[in-house]
Amino acid sequence: MTTHRISSALDDQARAILQGNDRGGYTIPTDGLYPYQWNWDSAFAAWGFSTFDLDRAWTELETLFSAQWDDGMVPHIIFHKQDPGYFPGPEVWGTNKTPATSGISQPPVAATMARLILQADPEAGRERIAALWPKIVAWHRWWRDYRCGTGVVAITHPWESGRDNCPDWDIGMAGVDGSNVGEYTRRDTGHVDPSMRPGKAEYDRYIAMVQFGRACGWDQREIVANGPFLMEDPGITFILTRANDDLAAMGRDLGHDVSEIEGWAADLRAAAPRLWNPETRGFDARDLKTGRFADRIASAAFLAYLAGVETPELAARMDGIWDAVRYGFPSADPAADSFEPRRYWRGPSWPVVNALLAIGLKDRGLDAAAERLRRETAELIEAHGFFEYFDPIDGTPCGGDAFTWTAAIWLTWAG
Ligand code: 9WN
């Protein structure tokens, strides 16, 4: 009884958060800290909306794809309306697009979310997905053409991974010169506790990478060949593999020839063993400037389940890391010196990543693990509300409050 009452009150709150963060056709991640449309946040928001407003769910994805570049890229931020509360804003990115956007992308979860929404809306949704489908294909082709040179996905900026300051990127960040970026004022540290955010040395380098992209007119080939940062990302590799499967399945139902997309998924799966680091016994990021593995293991390594990529050691490795904390899966390895339980992607548990991990676990028949992840994530939200991320050891809520994707995954999965 009590649980049911708590749940339905939280359902109401979660819906109110989505509606409150709705800026008309798109949803901001949270008021103040993130005042624009973010790519993967929006895809999760759409999934959340699909639990009570299917039309609004599709609109979210349509607005996201309305900012797609001619080359197929879907940018990581769309600056629909200027807002001084976020840095770096459109004038720093200087992409000269309409609407204004950033110059990098973000994890391509849209196809996977679209398929989940379509399952809830098979009839009216058919027309909506028919129009979106070729746009998603073009985006996936962009990843394939520009970022899969070694067979797996490479990123040109840590922000692209969605896991900004994860220890995965330390090795590549060390090679980026952030000493000449000039003066700038961060805004994030005015909204939330700075000890839960990336540090200044990291921000200097983030900005140096943006300045490089801007200076070459956001020329992808130039950024990949000569930019300051290029690392293989297990997270996007696994997310894109799964997203290609979902895109192919939807295309098949629409009567399209999907052999090209099936080929992309097969190629990514065939290349995935390249990310296996025998030293850390896990899927690992690799710095393509030096060829060296990061020698880290993060939550993204276990998105292998989502992609249907498995190795005999995966389950034991996952349990070992998970058992070291109490609430959900930690974004970084608790046994590593770099672990910081409240600093963003260096340790905290992220409900949204927990949801993706659980989808993968469930698909592989690991129902008990999927249910454990759901329960631990639900406990965090029930105790503290819809925060951006949480300390995985004591559950302390961190970052922004009234967060869109936390509300979305409550409605769809955790609640
Ligand atoms: C930079 C919006 C985004 C998420 C990312 C998260 C964070 C931005 C920032 O917020 O990144 O893109 O300014 O810190 O790391 O995953 O999409 O919620």
pLDDT single digits (tens) 308-317: 998 999 999 9
In the reported structure, the alpha carbon of residue 254 is separated from the centroid of ligand 1 by a whole-number distance in angstroms of: 34
Identify the sign of the CA torsion 384, 389, 391, 396. negative
Question: Is the pLDDT at 62 greater than 80, yes or no?
Answer: yes
Q: Which range marks the domain in which residue 229 is found?
A: 2-414
Which residues are catalytically annotated?
Answer: 164, 388
For the question of whether the overall pTM of this predicted structure is more than 0.95, the answer is yes
Ligand 1 atom index nearest CA of 102: 12
* Residue owning the nearest CA to atom 12 of ligand 1: 159
One DSSP character per residue, 238-275 reads: HHHHHHHHHHHHHHHHHT---HHHHHHHHHHHHHGGGG
Angle at which helix 110-120 crosses helix 124-147, to 10 degrees, equals 170
- The CATH number that applies at residue 277 is 1.50.10.10
pLDDT confidence bin for 78, thresholds 50/70/90:
very high
SS3 content of the chain, % helix, strand, coil (to 5): 50, 5, 40
Tens of pLDDT along 330-389?
Answer: 999 999 999 999 999 999 999 999 999 999 999 999 999 999 999 999 999 999 999 999
Mean pLDDT of 152-168: 98
Residue type, 225: A
* Residue owning the nearest CA to atom 8 of ligand 1: 159
Question: Is the pLDDT at 4 greater than 60, yes or no?
Answer: no
Residue 222: which of 146, 288, 287 has the closest Cα? Answer: 146
Task: For residues 309 and 61, give the distance between their C-alpha atoms in angstroms, rounded to a whole number.
Answer: 27
Ligand 1 atom index nearest CA of 161: 16
Angle at 109 between CA 77 and CA 90, to 5 degrees: 5
pLDDT confidence bin for 6, thresholds 50/70/90:
low
pLDDT, mean over the chain: 97
Q: 159, 161, 349: which to mutate for ligand 1, most atoms within 8 A of CB? A: 159
* Residue owning the nearest CA to atom 1 of ligand 1: 159
Question: Is the pLDDT at 162 greater than 70, yes or no?
Answer: yes
Question: Is the pLDDT at 2 greater than 50, yes or no?
Answer: no
pLDDT confidence bin for 320, thresholds 50/70/90:
very high
In the reported structure, the alpha carbon of residue 33 is separated from the centroid of ligand 1 by a whole-number distance in angstroms of: 10
Query: HSE on the CB side for 236, CA within 13 Å?
Result: 30
The percent of residues above 70 in pLDDT, for the chain, comes to 98
Task: For residues 358 and 41, give the distance between their C-alpha atoms in angstroms, rounded to a whole number.
Answer: 18
Question: At 141, phi and psi to the nearest 5?
Answer: -65, -35
Task: Answer for the pair 345, 331: CB distance below 8 angstroms, yes or no.
Answer: yes
In the reported structure, the alpha carbon of residue 257 is separated from the centroid of ligand 1 by a whole-number distance in angstroms of: 35
Ligand 1 atom index nearest CA of 164: 15
Residue 308: which of 372, 353, 248, 244 has the closest Cα? Answer: 244
In the reported structure, the alpha carbon of residue 32 is separated from the centroid of ligand 1 by a whole-number distance in angstroms of: 13
Residues with beta carbon inside 6 Å of ligand 1? Answer: 29, 34, 38, 40-41, 76, 159, 162, 164, 188
Alpha carbon dihedral 286, 289, 290, 291, in 10-degree steps, equals: 40
pLDDT at 310: 87
Task: Tell me if ipTM is over 0.85.
Answer: yes
Residues 6+ apart with CB under 8 A from 4: none
Q: CA-CA distances (angstroms) from residue 336 to 242, 331, 389?
A: 29, 12, 20
Tens of pLDDT along 24-55?
Answer: 999 999 999 999 999 999 999 999 999 999 99
Six-digit token string for 367:
């129902």
Mean pLDDT of 174-195: 95
Ligand 1 atom index nearest CA of 198: 14
Give me Rg for the CA atoms of the chain.
20
Tens of pLDDT along 258-278?
Answer: 999 999 999 999 999 999 999
Question: Is the pLDDT at 80 greater than 50, yes or no?
Answer: yes
Residue type, 404: T
How many domains, in total, are found in the chain? 1
